[in-house]
Amino acid sequence: MSASQDSGLSRPPQTTRILAELRGPTVPPRPLDARALAALAANPGCRRRALLDGAGVDKSALAAKLGSPAPFGQSQFAIVRGNSFEAKVKADGGRELLRLIGVEEPGTVSVPDLAAAGPQGRVARTALALREATGADGWTLLDHPLLALEVAGSPVYLEPDAVVVRPDGGWTVVEIKSFPMVDGAADASKVGAAARQAAVYVLALERVAALTEGARVAQSVLLVCPKDFSNVPTASVVDVRKQRSVTRRQLARLTRIDEIAAALPEGVSFDVAERSPEELTAAVECVPHQYAPECLAACELAFHCRSRAREAGAVETLGRSVRGELGGLTTVGAVLAAARGEEGDPEDPAVAALRRARALRQEALESAAARTPREHVECPC
């Protein structure tokens, strides 16, 4: 079993102290939001992201201070619409939502109050409510419960939209999204992102279920979206077994944050309020990144990392797949030099392929240029 499953949430106090120092002692940690989860899935091998997310650093503020502010934002139109839709789904004491599951007459639906002080308190409150609901022999709707999951050796907090507890003790994650399901089909990439997000919630729930008698976490989640062009909710059951196992494997493979933190030089801090941009730049530079273009959609620091990767001439800036054909050549300069025959071993298949590619490309471009004067088959306009 993976480390993320077995070890408890208790983190060595030393690591907690180190991470708090990295974040800035007065700054509260940021919970892992949907974007951070997406970044985790998009680039599990990035140490920089792992450390900053694990320490709960506000990456948006950090990126702004580094001079490459994150381009993310949410339109208030979308927020208003999303909130009103979520309220509609959860209306009627949870009965509307149960109707979407297919339960017309749920009897009494219990909606426990999950408010508590601090994230730890809310997590404990959620666990208690889940335990009570599992033994209760009725339907329960947990509205915005808080769950904890260990990511790279440090707990992060997660807040699903809702969790439904069935009378038979089954727990189902509910994900409410405001993109439409037109004719029963929604945008595949958005559904994929929602499924990956929900899979993390399933993993976090399984930790609690392991300690709760009679509890069972459903491996399918309920995705609730507006139907067609209306505000009427419709739901679809999404099997997240695959996403769950992929995420679990990725989480297990993550370099432990305490190891990354231990490798940092003395005195490094990501305290956005206290440190100067130069100090922060130097601090960020201490942790290696693994930039790929996919980061642009998922990580606040992506523009910063991209500029560094471009300065270094890394071939990954052109796409992750590019590396595959280039063998040991990792920079644009080295590839071009090898293609021109200035560097590289001609016996190396990657170098030989590059030279052939360049020769064929040159030949084609020259033959096209030779077809002068260019006949202009222009349309009258």
Partner 1 sequence: MSLISTLARMEAVESGRAQPLATVRHRRLSGRPLVLVPLTTAGEAGAPLGALVGTDPEEPRLLVVAQPRDRDLRFAFLAELAEEVLPYIDSFADVVEAAERSEVDPETGKKVKVEVELCADAPQLIVPSRAGVEYLRLLGRSTRFRRTAEQDPETPFPAPPRVPLLGRWLTHFGDRARVPGSSLLLSATDLLNRHWATGQSSLEDQHLGALLAWIDPHDGEPGSEAALRAEVGRDSEGQLLCPPAGPATDPAFDNRLLAPAIERYDRARQAVGAAEDGEAAERGLGELHRAEREVRRLVASRMKPTWEAVWRAIGLLRELPEGARVEDRWTRDRWSFTAHRDRVTAGEPPQPRRDDAVTAARKLAAREQAQGQLEAQEALDDPLVLAGRRLSGEAFTAEVVEVTMAWTESKRPAPRPLLTVRTEDRPHLGEKVKVFRSLDGKPQSAEFVRYEEDGALLLRILDRMGRSKEPAEGSVPEKGERIAWTLFEHDQRVGPQLPEAEETPWTHGGPPRADAVELPDAVTPEDVL
- Site for partner 1, rule CB under 8 A: 68-69, 71, 73-82, 84, 178-180, 182-183, 226, 228-232, 293-294, 296-297, 303, 310, 313, 315, 317-319, 321-322, 325-326, 332-333, 335-336, 339, 353-354, 356-358, 360-361, 363-365, 367-368, 374-381
From 44, 30, 53, 22, select the one nearest 283 (Cα to Cα). Answer: 22
Rounded to whole angstroms, how far apart are CA atoms 241 and 246? 9
Longest CA pairwise span in the chain (Å)? 84
State which residue, 265 or 324, has the beta carbon closest to partner 1. Answer: 324
Amino acid at 139: W
Rounded to whole angstroms, how far apart are CA atoms 39 and 280? 21
Nearest approach, Cβ of 181 to partner 1 (angstroms)? 9
State which residue, 255 or 307, has the beta carbon closest to partner 1. Answer: 307
Nearest approach, Cβ of 185 to partner 1 (angstroms)? 9
Angle, helix 118-135 to helix 188-210, in steps of 10 degrees: 80
State which residue, 210 or 368, has the beta carbon closest to partner 1. Answer: 368
33-37, long-range: CB within 8 Å, 24+ apart, which pairs?
A: 34/193, 34/197, 35/72, 35/298, 35/299, 35/300, 37/158, 37/196, 37/197, 37/200
Do 196 and 38 meet the contact criterion of CB atoms below 8 Å apart? yes
Nearest approach, Cβ of 204 to partner 1 (angstroms)? 28
Is there a cis peptide before residue 160, judged by omega within 30 degrees of 0?
no
Token digits for 217?
């976490």
Nearest approach, Cβ of 347 to partner 1 (angstroms)? 16
State which residue, 168 or 342, has the beta carbon closest to partner 1. Answer: 342
Nearest approach, Cβ of 69 to partner 1 (angstroms)? 7
State which residue, 115 or 377, has the beta carbon closest to partner 1. Answer: 377
Nearest approach, Cβ of 116 to partner 1 (angstroms)? 31
State which residue, 23 or 304, has the beta carbon closest to partner 1. Answer: 304
Rounded to whole angstroms, how far apart are CA atoms 70 and 245? 30
Q: How many CB atoms lie within 10 A of CB 290?
A: 18
State which residue, 89 or 152, has the beta carbon closest to partner 1. Answer: 89
Rounded to whole angstroms, how far apart are CA atoms 199 and 203? 6
Nearest approach, Cβ of 76 to partner 1 (angstroms)? 5
Output b/e per residue, 326-356; b: 16+ Cβ within 10 A.
Answer: bbebeebebbebbbeeeebeeeeebbeebbe
State which residue, 117 or 188, has the beta carbon closest to partner 1. Answer: 188
Nearest approach, Cβ of 74 to partner 1 (angstroms)? 6
Amino acid at 140: T
Whose structure tokens read 């007065």?
Answer: 26
Nearest approach, Cβ of 325 to partner 1 (angstroms)? 5
Whole-Å CA distances, 243 to 70, 251, 329, 341: 27, 12, 33, 45
State which residue, 70 or 142, has the beta carbon closest to partner 1. Answer: 70
Rounded to whole angstroms, how far apart are CA atoms 197 and 238? 12
State which residue, 33 or 132, has the beta carbon closest to partner 1. Answer: 33
From 60, 42, 61, select the one nearest 300 (Cα to Cα). Answer: 60
From 134, 113, 144, 123, select the one nearest 207 (Cα to Cα). Answer: 123
Nearest approach, Cβ of 230 to partner 1 (angstroms)? 4
